[in-house]
Chain A
Amino acid sequence: MDNVHLNEYIKSYGDTVYRVAYSYTRNRADSEDIVQDTFVKLMKSEKSFESNEHIKAWLIRVAANLAKNAVSSVWCTRREELSEQLLAEEHMDEGLSAAMARLDGKYSAVIYLHYYEGYNVREISKLLRISEPNVKARLKRGREKLKAYLEE
């Protein structure tokens, strides 16, 4: 893959990959590293993609997997959540931003994919490797938790 194509993919999907990563890491630097690693894997992949949607889904899955690993790995995780959270709160609406920052990654990821990216439950199930009922449950609980945080 050459620079031009890579640049096009990053322009098209960089923010999506970043948001998926950020849903889990809550950390700008870690999320950018995950964006970088995700596109490195795209460059090295010999996978043939059927469409842009296929590429996008593949990137989301890779990013989610890398992000989950990063969060769970004691070696790979950098701890800057507090400052990141404060930074985010300075620039965004306090209520929703603060509530989203408190939301566990497993909820915020499905909320992002469903409400922003427009994926349905079945598609999210495949993207995140969780059962459809689990996706539904996470959406429901995520909504409930957000509502509770916003009402505090």
Chain B
Amino acid sequence: MSIKEYYDKQKLGVSAEDMTARVMRAAQEQPKHRAVRKPAVVAAAAAAVLVCGVTAAATGFINFNELFHSISVENEIFGESLIGCVENVKTTISNEDYSVALKGVTGSPTAILANIEIARTDGQPINGEDVYVNLKDISLANYDSYSGSGCTSQINEQGILSIDWDYRMGYDEMLAGEVMMSGPMLINGRVNIQNGGKINAIDWTIEFDYTPSEESLKEARAADTNKNCILNCEISLNDNEYFPLECDISEIVLTNTFGVVKGIILDEVFMMPSRRDANDIRLIRDNGTEVTAHIMSANGDSNGNSINFILRYIETGSRSDELAIDLSDINAISINGIVYELS
């Protein structure tokens, strides 16, 4: 059987008519995210903003740091990029017995993780209640092409329900390697809480405008390149020929040539320069072992006549500038001691 035949046999298990009916039903059952906002919860929104430590009357742009209690990030540089311009925070919640607040933001250039807290307005803990469903749907007003859901939750020591809510940015928001973020950002969902036989379905929405500064975009790009340091472990000598290296790299040496080489930096390998402006770089595997690459010069791009390495200082967590290595005077590449002559 060919691959085509294999896929020919993979078909939707229900008829188009049945799926149409399912979709129509689901569309009617899922309220549009903007529909869950109700005027009655303005007070809750204001309270939530006050919890965040800024005045509700703040106008214009305010600093991200001042808005949220904490910004915790897996990627330090991207975290800094989140320190941008935030305004118009609005929170809504459908049940006045509860309040919702955005407590922090973490993430990566392609996924933002927001920490949401839902608490009882009477100060009682949620501990005694059974949170039996913690999400229903998430969709983003301006990112509907790529919206998705994923969350984890826990009830903390104070009896407050803490949800880490994740959404991912799509290709259209990442143009030419840039991370483009602009408001409004909308995070919403549904939490079902059962209390003494009574089931409370709580729809909540947190919305804020985020307009990144030039500086934050620059840092976001830097963070993105850092992420991309972990790619595929291959060196391509031309478009059709690859030398899969996996984790067997012990050494890469680029020497004088007029070859067409494209470099792809590597799964399980970080690259870092020994100095910011150095030609020598080391490759470091996940297990900490090091290899060395010697770079002849630094300019050009990845159009086939040059090679781009994005470097990172692992010790400090800071990044180097993008270092493009001109291969126009390189005629051989040595990988693990084997010299590949380039045409």
Binding site for B on A (CB under 8 A): 3, 6-7, 10-11, 14-15, 18-19, 22, 28, 32, 35-37, 39-41, 43-45, 47, 58, 61-62, 65-66, 68-69, 72-76, 91-93, 95-97, 100, 111-112, 115-116, 126-127, 129, 131, 133-134, 136-137, 140-141, 144
Write the nearest CB–CB distance from A10 to chain B, whole angstroms.
Answer: 4
Centre residue among A45, A133, A144 by max chain B CB count within 10 A: A133
Q: Which residues of B contact A18 (CB under 8 A)?
A: 10-12
Contact of A66 among B32, B148, B262 (CB under 8 A): B148
Q: Which residues of B contact A14 (CB under 8 A)?
A: 12, 16, 19
A129 to B144, CA, bound (A): 16
Interface contact A134-B232, CB-CB below 8 Å: yes
Q: Which residues of A contact B228 (CB under 8 A)?
A: 131
A6 to B20, CA, bound (A): 7
A80 to B32, CA, bound (A): 31
Write the nearest CB–CB distance from A138 to chain B, whole angstroms.
Answer: 8
Show 22 residue pairs from A and B whose CB-CB distance is below 8 angstroms, ordered by the A residue.
A6-B23, A11-B16, A14-B12, A14-B16, A32-B14, A36-B22, A36-B26, A40-B30, A61-B146, A68-B148, A69-B148, A75-B150, A91-B9, A92-B9, A97-B1, A116-B4, A127-B171, A129-B171, A131-B228, A131-B231, A134-B264, A144-B244
- Output the nearest chain A residue to B134 by Cβ-Cβ distance: A75
Interface contact B149-A73, CB-CB below 8 Å: yes
Contact of B150 among A3, A15, A72, A111 (CB under 8 A): A72
B244-271 to A contact mask, C-beta < 8 Å, 1/0: 1000000000000000001010000000
Contact of B144 among A10, A44, A69, A131 (CB under 8 A): A44
Q: How extensive is the interface on chain B, given as a class?
A: 35 or more
A147 to B19, CA, bound (A): 36
| Given A22-B10, A43-B27, A129-B174, CB of A96 within 8 Å of CB of B145 | no
A69 to B165, CA, bound (A): 12
| Given A7-B20, A40-B27, CB of A97 within 8 Å of CB of B6 | yes
| Given A10-B20, A32-B14, A116-B4, CB of A40 within 8 Å of CB of B236 | no
- Output the nearest chain B residue to A64 by Cβ-Cβ distance: B146
Interface contact A133-B264, CB-CB below 8 Å: yes
Contact of A96 among B1, B144, B239 (CB under 8 A): B1
Total CB contacts across the A-B interface at under 8 A: 139
Contact of A137 among B17, B26, B110, B264 (CB under 8 A): B264
- Output the nearest chain A residue to B267 by Cβ-Cβ distance: A137
Q: Which residues of A contact B127 (CB under 8 A)?
A: none
Interface contact A35-B148, CB-CB below 8 Å: no
Interface contact A75-B19, CB-CB below 8 Å: no
Q: Which residues of A contact B84 (CB under 8 A)?
A: none
A96 to B30, CA, bound (A): 39
A18 to B12, CA, bound (A): 6
Interface contact A6-B1, CB-CB below 8 Å: no
| Given A18-B10, A61-B145, CB of A93 within 8 Å of CB of B1 | yes
Write the nearest CB–CB distance from B342 to chain A, whole angstroms.
Answer: 18
Contact of A45 among B6, B110, B144, B150 (CB under 8 A): B144
Write the nearest CB–CB distance from B36 to chain A, whole angstroms.
Answer: 14
Q: Check B168 for interface membership: any CB of A closer than 8 A.
A: yes
Interface contact A133-B232, CB-CB below 8 Å: yes
Q: Which 10 A-B residue pairs are closest in the complex by CB-CB distance? A: A69-B148, A93-B1, A73-B150, A129-B171, A137-B232, A11-B16, A18-B12, A7-B20, A39-B23, A10-B16
